[in-house]
Homo-oligomer: A and B are copies of this chain.
Amino acid sequence: MSKVIVWAVLLCVCLADVPRSIQVVAWTIPAKKLPLPSCASEEIRRTLAKISQPDIQRAKKFIARSKSEWREWAEYARESGADSAKEWAKKYGVTINKKRIEGIDVYELIPRSLSKKMHNRLFVFLHGGGYVFGGGMSGLSEGILIASRTGMRVVAVDYRMPPDYPYPTAVEDVIRVYKVLIHSYAPSAVALGGSSSGGGLVLSVVQQMKKAHLPLPGALFAGSPWADLSKSGDSFYINEGIDRKLVTYDAFLHAAATLYANGRNLKDPAISPLYGDFSGFPPTMLVSGTRDLFLSLTVRVHRKLKAVGSVADLNVYEGLSHVEYFVVSDAPESKDAYGTLKRFLAEHLK
């Protein structure tokens, strides 16, 4: 073994530090085998063993071609998803009451196991679905898990969405509801949270609350937040074709981002809160997974929160794709994630 070769393993096996004159803009990563995640739970491995491998080319076909096609999709998803929400409500012992606050539809989710300790606390839940799906009851699934596993009363805001209501309607709807709710609850006793676009919306809403000098919630939950609507960050590339839920940015996500942005640049802080101001943010819990297309978004939000000195609790699960911590709801990872949330809220809500 020559000394020249040995030199290359110095400083913790630096194998690739050979300077080159040509500036490499992108690397070509060769095809590779990815086994089931042997260190994820049996439930996750069993779920993955049953499904087809994510198909990037097939995923790229899922783009609506007109506003009416978006409406048709969203409406169909809304109807089919409602049944599944009802099943989850039954399974997890949660009662759903539809209400209206300031003209906005909301769903009150009351767990059978309503915690006495949490009786004067409230979780305001914002569903995901790329700012297109998750309307009506179809967006309630994660909210139901949160109610059941934290023992808290949840109000899920059925904020209006594109194609008919692009930015800023969703942000405004949530704030209108919040302003009414804080007549009944101390803001410091209110948690605001959601996953995916729901998590991104949480961040946008808090940035808007700050501008409007509203009292902020006591704690936030941003699960795999869609905090930057542009294709930026390693995980959009590294986990393409690996994340079984989102698969790729280059289809539905890009189209949905464009629809919500309604002409704005996708890096505009108004719609991509990662570029906005995080100063004074309440304690925030974040969740992602090693296969998540939004892993980079999650860790970038985490660093923004740390940079301003906020309490920020990053949780990354081995083997999980985007929002799989609530989709595979009986996996130990799911119980662990919402157990962690329960402890986080018990610590930070006052």
Q: Provided the pairs A7-B80, A52-B18, A340-B306 are in contact, do residues A241 and B30 lie with their beta carbons within 8 angstroms? A: yes
Q: Is the pair A24, B12 in contact by a Cβ cutoff of 8 Å?
A: no
From B10, B35, B244, give the contact of A15 (CB < 8 A): B244
Q: Verify if A128 is at the interface (C-beta below 8 Å from B).
A: yes
Q: Verify if A108 is at the interface (C-beta below 8 Å from B).
A: no
| Contact segment of A54-62, A111-119, A200-208, A258-266 | A54-62
Neighbouring B residues of A10 by C-beta, 8 Å: 77, 80-81, 84, 133, 138
A268 to B195, CA, bound (A): 37
Least CB distance from A248 to B in Å reads: 9
Q: Is the pair A1, B73 in contact by a Cβ cutoff of 8 Å?
A: yes
Q: Is the pair B1, A69 in contact by a Cβ cutoff of 8 Å?
A: yes
Q: Is the pair B300, A318 in contact by a Cβ cutoff of 8 Å?
A: yes
Q: Provided the pairs A290-B235, A296-B290, A317-B303 are in contact, do residues A59 and B1 lie with their beta carbons within 8 angstroms? A: no
Q: Is the pair B49, A234 in contact by a Cβ cutoff of 8 Å?
A: no
Q: Is the pair A31, B34 in contact by a Cβ cutoff of 8 Å?
A: no
Q: What does the 1/0 interface line of A7-20 toward B look like (CB < 8 Å)? A: 11111111111111
Counting every copy of the chain, the complex holds: 2
Q: What does the 1/0 interface line of A117-150 toward B look like (CB < 8 Å)? A: 0000000000011100110001001000000000
Q: Is the pair B290, A234 in contact by a Cβ cutoff of 8 Å?
A: yes
| Contact segment of A90-98, A167-175, A212-220, A319-327 | A319-327
| Contact segment of A36-44, A156-164, A184-192 | A36-44
Q: Verify if A254 is at the interface (C-beta below 8 Å from B).
A: no
Neighbouring B residues of A62 by C-beta, 8 Å: 5, 8-9, 13, 15
A17 to B299, CA, bound (A): 27
- Most chain B Cβ neighbours within 10 Å, of A8, A37, A81: A37
Neighbouring B residues of A317 by C-beta, 8 Å: 299, 303
A27 to B35, CA, bound (A): 6
Q: Verify if A239 is at the interface (C-beta below 8 Å from B).
A: yes
Q: Provided the pairs A12-B323, A130-B12 are in contact, do residues A31 and B33 lie with their beta carbons within 8 angstroms? A: no
A42 to B226, CA, bound (A): 24
Q: Provided the pairs A16-B247, A340-B306 are in contact, do residues A25 and B29 lie with their beta carbons within 8 angstroms? A: no
Q: Provided the pairs A25-B35, A290-B235 are in contact, do residues A245 and B13 lie with their beta carbons within 8 angstroms? A: yes
Neighbouring B residues of A5 by C-beta, 8 Å: 62
Q: Provided the pairs A20-B51, A290-B234 are in contact, do residues A14 and B64 lie with their beta carbons within 8 angstroms? A: no
A–B pairs, 28, beta carbons within 8 Å: A3-B76, A6-B76, A9-B62, A9-B133, A10-B138, A11-B81, A12-B133, A12-B195, A13-B62, A13-B246, A15-B62, A15-B244, A16-B55, A16-B245, A16-B247, A19-B50, A23-B49, A24-B49, A24-B51, A25-B49, A26-B35, A33-B237, A38-B233, A39-B296, A299-B316, A303-B315, A314-B314, A316-B316
Chain A residues within CB distance 8 Å of chain B: 1, 3, 5-20, 23-39, 48-56, 58-59, 62, 64-65, 69, 72-73, 76-77, 80-81, 84, 128-130, 133-134, 138, 141, 195-196, 232-235, 237-242, 244-247, 252-253, 290-291, 295-296, 299-300, 302-303, 306-307, 314-319, 322-323, 327, 336, 340
The 7 closest A-B CB pairs, nearest first, are A299-B316, A27-B53, A234-B290, A16-B244, A26-B35, A26-B33, A16-B54
Apart from A6-B72, A10-B133, what 17 extra A-B contacts exist at CB < 8 Å? Answer: A5-B62, A11-B327, A12-B134, A13-B129, A16-B52, A16-B53, A17-B51, A18-B52, A19-B51, A24-B48, A25-B35, A29-B31, A30-B56, A34-B238, A233-B318, A299-B318, A307-B336
